[in-house]
Amino acid sequence: MTHAQRTLLLDRFYRITEIPMLFLSICFLVIFFLIESRTLSTTTTLVLDGILWIIWGIFGIELLIKWYLSPDRVAYLRANWIEIVMIAIPFLRPLRLLWLPIILTRLWRQSRQTLRQRMPAFIGITSLIVVLVAATLMFVAEQGSGGPIASFADAIWWALTTVTTVGYGDTYPVTVLGRGVAVFLMLAGISLFGLLTANIAALFVEDEAADRQREMLTEIQQRLTRIEQLLAQRAGEEKQL
């Protein structure tokens, strides 16, 4: 294949797979946190492990196809080293936590590229990631502390009430690490809701600007129509003379 054909096929493959691969990355992250919460039965954990293997295989196939279609394969490998590391790391329990920063980085890049024109959806996915990460860290930090966060479900409930700035106060961290996670989630929640509010305000401003542009265009069109009528009338009067 020529350079132009490879570029065209690669661009088409990106457009076809961007949404499905983003969905698979989200599923991978959710399943990862469910397994690491260690609140599931052995059978359920084995099933989820199998699903992670399948998703891992799909990621590998996607990487190979994009590498094959890339016009400059060496440059592609350099630009996508995160995916290469993710595929290369053995899927073993001692190395499982290494998948967390890699899949988070991959998900961030995918959501930023795929949802760049859909900011509310991007903010929603980012909020989901932040809540899951904070809940998992809180669950690990509070285990055995005797505090009110005794299960992964408690950690999820705490993360949701904290990120939305509701803060019922029924669950709260008692360890130093847990309080550090709480500070991070508080700041993240304020930032995310600030971005969402700013984006909604920008939508209203854009709509108002669009309405003004339409009104100006309508007024210009009316004036042009009036000028054409006057010119036609003047031309008729000149013919009569």
pLDDT in tens, 179-218: 888 898 888 888 877 777 776 676 666 656 666 777 777 7
Is the pLDDT at 116 greater than 60? The verdict is no
* Least confident span in 10-24, 27-41, 92-106, 188-202: 92-106
- Determine the pLDDT at residue 133: 79
Helix, strand, coil shares of the chain as percentages rounded to 5?
85, 0, 15
Tokens of 218: 């309508």
In terms of pLDDT, which residue wins out, 145 or 208? Answer: 145
Would you place residue 165 in the very low, low, confident or very high pLDDT band (cuts 50, 70, 90)?
confident
In terms of pLDDT, which residue wins out, 97 or 228? Answer: 228
What is the amino acid identity at position 130? V
pLDDT (tens digit per residue) in 82-112 = 777 767 765 555 555 566 666 766 766 666 6
d(CA 85, CA 63): 11
Q: What percent of the chain has pLDDT over 70?
A: 75
Tokens of 163: 């990120």
Q: Helix count (H) and strand count (E) of the chain?
A: 8, 0
Q: How far, in Å, are 54, 142, 153, 155, 161 from residue 170 at the CA level?
A: 39, 15, 13, 11, 10
Q: What percent of the chain has pLDDT over 90?
A: 0
Would you place residue 16 in the very low, low, confident or very high pLDDT band (cuts 50, 70, 90)?
confident
Average pLDDT over residues 55-66: 84
Average pLDDT over residues 146-162: 86
Average pLDDT over residues 214-229: 79
* Least confident span in 11-15, 17-21, 34-38, 128-132: 34-38
Cβ contacts of residue 200 below 8 Å, gap of 6+? 120
Average pLDDT over residues 148-156: 84
- Determine the pLDDT at residue 113: 62
- Determine the pLDDT at residue 95: 57
- Determine the pLDDT at residue 137: 81
> What is the CATH number that goes with domain 117-241?
1.10.287.70
